Amino acid sequence: MTTPSSDRARTSRQAHVTGWGRYAPAQVLTNADLERMVDTSDEWIRSRTGIRERRVAAAHETTASMAAVAGLRAIAVAGLQPDDIDLILLGTLTPDYWMPSTAALVKEAIGNTRAAAMDVMAACSGFVYAYASAHAHIVSGMARHALVIGAETLTRFLDYSDRNTCILFGDGAGAVVLSASDEPGGGLGIELTTEPSGAYMIWLPAGGAKAPPSLDTLARREHFIRMEGRETYRFATRTLATTALTAVERAGLQPSDIDLFIPHQANIRIIEAVAKGLDLPMERMFVNVDRYGNTSAASIPIALAEAVDSGRVKVGDDIVMVAFGAGFTSGAIALRWTADPARGAIADTIAPDVVRIRPPVDWDSAEAIPPALAAVLGGTVVGDETDLDDIVPGDADAGAAAAEGHGPDGRGSDARGTKVHA
Ligand code: UT7
């Protein structure tokens, strides 16, 4: 990462949002679909959470691929080239791999050669934590343009026999570009908190150093997200309003001064509690949980991009993004919007298929889509037709063919050559 020396001397440097973008996979999982999987009902899910449907990544999509599309869209809206970015921070709890970072894969996929890239693990607060870190890099002069992404493929970490969790979550990605400016605006007040007494209220028990993967951990279904919903709900309703309030006060404002709140989209009842806690009408809260469910770190940047693109944000508006999640983490950013909302239309020029995540050339993994999900969505994953002997280390052509979704047989298939038949 390069640090422009002339920028270091500036004391009034601000970090403005100059670009924004989102990507949601096409496949929709409805409450009716979930009724076929667990003992639940559309009525229960809608009345307890506000969720009507959520998106599911296709077999060839991953956190990195969705993040790269959202990121390229944000860069285009900012009027920049990928190589203008000198910092990439990606909030996620569902990385493609434990290592390398998903941010590193995104850097390569968007064609950036300059940026430092890393993942930020703060669960559903990941985007807000990443945004705050990028803000600090920019105002200190360490970065000029930062790409901040929240991206998740939660549907691959859910136990589709646990009705307490599998109804809640969905996949997607959102991103912003933060750019240095000497003009007023951008981040005005930031608050980040972590409350580890809630560490095991939402967690994924196995796969880490405490419980390395084994047949035993698999048999116990410990590779799936677990949650104490009621305790998490209590934490969220207690914390979101106070975290938001602290950020608003740091900005020298009152809640009534804020034009729009972009709260983490976990549950409509939690968002209503935030509005009540801040003594504001629901019209000041942006809501899209009905269409996406809880997309964890992707939730706020998707909501922000939708809010701007749907005309809910104008130049000069003060907005607050506020998140909570496993850890327990919480974070809020109060900021003044300075970008022309009409520029959001430029994101449409970036089609999802421009993104290629380079596959490992000598390794192939198991099926991406959980069988219970594949069955209910009408697609049956019918095996892997890529012969590993056809993909050898250093064979750029074979790697590129797999990356482009053209299996060695020349027919349509995903990056691993896996076929999903409808
Ligand atoms: O991003 C952070 C991640 N997490 C969250 O934000 C989640 C926060 N928590 C919540 O949103 C809510 O606690 C839930 C939506 C998860 C649950 O709603 P609740 O009103 O707190 O329900 P509950 O857990 O108190 O369960 C009430 C009843 C229980 O039955 P009994 O014990 O009263 O007989 C559950 O077994 O509802 C039952 N239940 C369900 N019934 C139908 C739980 N899940 C379901 C379901 N369908 N999917």
Cα-to-centroid distance, 109 and ligand 1 (Å): 39
145, 264, 267, 288: the catalytic one is 264
Q: Which atom of ligand 1 is nearest to the CA of 296?
A: 1
- C-beta of residue 20 within 8 angstroms of C-beta of residue 302: no
Bridge-partner residues for 171, per DSSP?
A: 153
pLDDT for the residue 379:
57
Cα-to-centroid distance, 41 and ligand 1 (Å): 12
The Cα 366–Cα 354 span in angstroms is 25
Q: Which atom of ligand 1 is nearest to the CA of 164?
A: 44
- C-beta of residue 324 within 8 angstroms of C-beta of residue 240: yes
* pLDDT tens for each residue of 55-96: 999 999 999 999 999 999 999 999 999 999 999 999 999 999
Burial class (CB in 10 A: 0-12, 13-18, 19+), 335: buried
The Cα 103–Cα 193 span in angstroms is 24
Residue minimizing CA distance to atom 29 of ligand 1: 164
Residue minimizing CA distance to atom 20 of ligand 1: 48
The Cα 154–Cα 192 span in angstroms is 24
60, 124, 135, 267: the catalytic one is 124
Q: Where are the domains of the chain?
A: 5-410
Q: Which of 45, 48, 267 to mutate to test the pocket of ligand 1 (most atoms within 8 A of CB)?
A: 48
Cα-to-centroid distance, 356 and ligand 1 (Å): 38
Cα-to-centroid distance, 234 and ligand 1 (Å): 12
- Told to judge if 264 belongs to the known catalytic residues of this protein, a careful annotator would answer yes
* pLDDT tens for each residue of 380-391: 443 334 343 433
Q: Could you give the 3-state DSSP secondary structure of residue 251?
A: coil
pLDDT for the residue 378:
80
Q: Which atom of ligand 1 is nearest to the CA of 167?
A: 48
The Cα 75–Cα 57 span in angstroms is 22
* pLDDT tens for each residue of 132-153: 999 999 999 999 999 999 999 9
The Cα 192–Cα 412 span in angstroms is 45
31, 112, 267, 294: the catalytic one is 294
Note the pTM of the prediction, 2 decimals. Answer: 0.88
Q: Which of 227, 233, 290, 292 to mutate to test the pocket of ligand 1 (most atoms within 8 A of CB)?
A: 233
The Cα 29–Cα 37 span in angstroms is 11
Q: 316, 260, 314, 315: which is closest to 288 by C-alpha?
A: 260
pLDDT for the residue 393:
40
- Told to judge if 124 belongs to the known catalytic residues of this protein, a careful annotator would answer yes
Residue minimizing CA distance to atom 35 of ligand 1: 164
Residues near ligand 1 (Cβ within 6 A): 40, 44, 48-49, 124, 163-164, 167, 202, 227, 229-230, 232-233, 236, 266-267, 294, 325
Helix axis angle for 42-49 and 268-277, nearest 10°, is 20
Digitized pLDDT (tens) for each residue of the chain, 422 residues in all: 433 333 333 448 999 999 999 999 999 999 999 999 999 999 999 999 999 999 999 999 999 999 999 999 999 999 999 999 999 999 999 999 999 999 999 999 999 999 999 999 999 999 999 999 999 999 999 999 999 999 999 999 999 999 999 999 999 999 999 999 999 999 999 999 999 999 999 999 999 999 999 999 999 999 999 999 999 999 999 999 999 999 999 999 999 999 999 999 999 999 999 999 999 999 999 999 999 999 999 999 999 999 999 999 999 999 999 999 999 999 999 999 999 999 999 999 999 998 989 888 777 777 888 889 999 988 544 333 434 343 334 444 443 443 443 332 322 333 322 322 32
Cα-to-centroid distance, 229 and ligand 1 (Å): 6
Structure tokens, 159: 């136990």
CA distances from 405 to 32, 159, 293, 370, 398 (A): 31, 28, 29, 20, 11
Cα-to-centroid distance, 316 and ligand 1 (Å): 39
| CA-angle at 388, arms to 384 and 390, nearest 5° | 110
Residue range 5-410 forms a domain whose CATH class is alpha beta
**237-255 core/surface letters (b: 16 or more CB in 10 A; e: else):** bbbbbbbbbbbbebbebeb
- Looking at every residue in the chain, the average pLDDT score rounds to 89
